Structure 1
Amino acid sequence: MSIVQFLKSKSFFKQVAIAIVCLLAFIFILKYWLGVSTNHSQKIQVPDLQKLSLDEVQRKLKELNLDFKVIDSASFNPDYPKKSVIEQTPEAGDFVKEKRKIYLTLNPSKYRDVTIPDLNGKTKRQATSHLRSIGFNIGTNPTLVRDIGKDVVRGLRYNGKILNHGDKLPLNSIIDMVLGDGRGN
């Protein structure tokens, strides 16, 4: 029997039909199995976790059979409670499956501490720009001391206490300057 005759025979068409039926059956069985094993029809809506503490987050996610992981602490945000959720991934309102991890970013308990630089002998303008660039605020009423240099920094204060080079204060603290009055010897 030649190849052309074999390709025209009933036996060949039976084998091709059996192969197609088996392939289609395999595809449908695989599709059904994947739908069942991956919980395809399941949808859990992610709740809004912003401004919640970790205890509240754990309680809320446990009810929904979800898990969480803290991935980072952001810069302190005074609009949020301390150690509360600032961001979450996936976002609130997204749909996920059970046991999915929700990744959380928390608000630290305070601003990070910044080291006080040595500004003694600098001008008021230099000191102001330096302090602002590292995250401090400048008080509006500087203390004047008798000194030969006018508006030359002779010290820094925070809440009335004298600051030394190397001390640490929280970011956004208000620092008052001690300046020369230009009338000294």
Structure 2
Amino acid sequence: MSLLQFLKSKAFLKQIGLAILGLLAFIFILNWWLGFSTNHSQKIQVPDLQKMSLAEVQKKLTDLELDFIVIDSASFNPNYPIKSVIEQNPEAGDFVKEQRKIYLTLNPSRFRDVKIPELLGRTKRQVVTQLSAIGFKVGKFTFIPDLGKNVVRGFRFKGEKVNPGDKLPKNSVIDLVLGDGNGY
């Protein structure tokens, strides 16, 4: 029997037909099983968790059969309550399946600490610019007798003397001690 005759034979065509039917049955069963095991028709809308405390988040997500993971806190935001949610992933309104993890970023309890750089002996304008750039606010100016006019001779935080290298919370108000330019 030649190859061409074998390809035209009923036995070969029967085997090809059975193989195609088997493949179609396998695909149908696989599709049904995946739809069943992955909860294909289920979807839960993610709630808006912004400004909620961790206890409120836990209750709300437990009711919806969702999990959450707290990731590293972001920079302090004074517009949000302390230890409340400031970001979430997936976003509010997205659809997910049960037991999906919602990743939360919380608002820390205060601004992070920033080191005061070595700025003594520089002009008021330079120091104000540099302190503002790293997140501090400049408050009052006090003057002491000194040869250099508007040269920074010290720092104060809440009336107390602070030194370069000390750490203060970001957004703190630092008062500057300046020379008056009249000498000693």
TM-score (norm 1): 0.93
CA displacement, residues 147-167 of structure 1 (integer Å, 9 cap, x when unaligned): 221111121112222222332
For structure 1, which segment, 46-55 or 2-11, has the greater mean C-alpha deviation from structure 2 after superposition? Answer: 2-11
Q: CA deviation at 1:177?
A: 0.9
Aligned to 2:178: 179
Aligned to 2:6: 6
Q: Distance in 2 between matches of 1:5 and 1:180?
A: 108
After superposition, the CA RMSD in angstroms is 1.3
**Structure 2 unaligned blocks of 5 or more:** none
Aligned pairs (5 A) from 1:101-180: 101-139=101-139, 141-180=140-179
Q: State whether structure 2 residue 38 is matched by structure 1 residue 17.
A: no
**Structure 1 unaligned blocks of 5 or more:** none
Aligned to 1:69: 69
Q: Distance in 1 between matches of 2:28 and 2:47?
A: 35
Aligned to 1:26: 26
TM-score (norm 2): 0.94
CA displacement, residues 27-79 of structure 1 (integer Å, 9 cap, x when unaligned): 10111011111111110111111111111111111001110111111111111
Sequence identity (%): 70
Runs of 4+ off more than 3 Å: none
Q: Distance in 1 between matches of 2:38 and 2:16?
A: 33
Task: Give the count of matched residue pairs.
Answer: 184
Q: Distance in 2 between matches of 1:88 and 1:73?
A: 12
Q: Distance in 2 between matches of 1:91 and 1:182?
A: 58
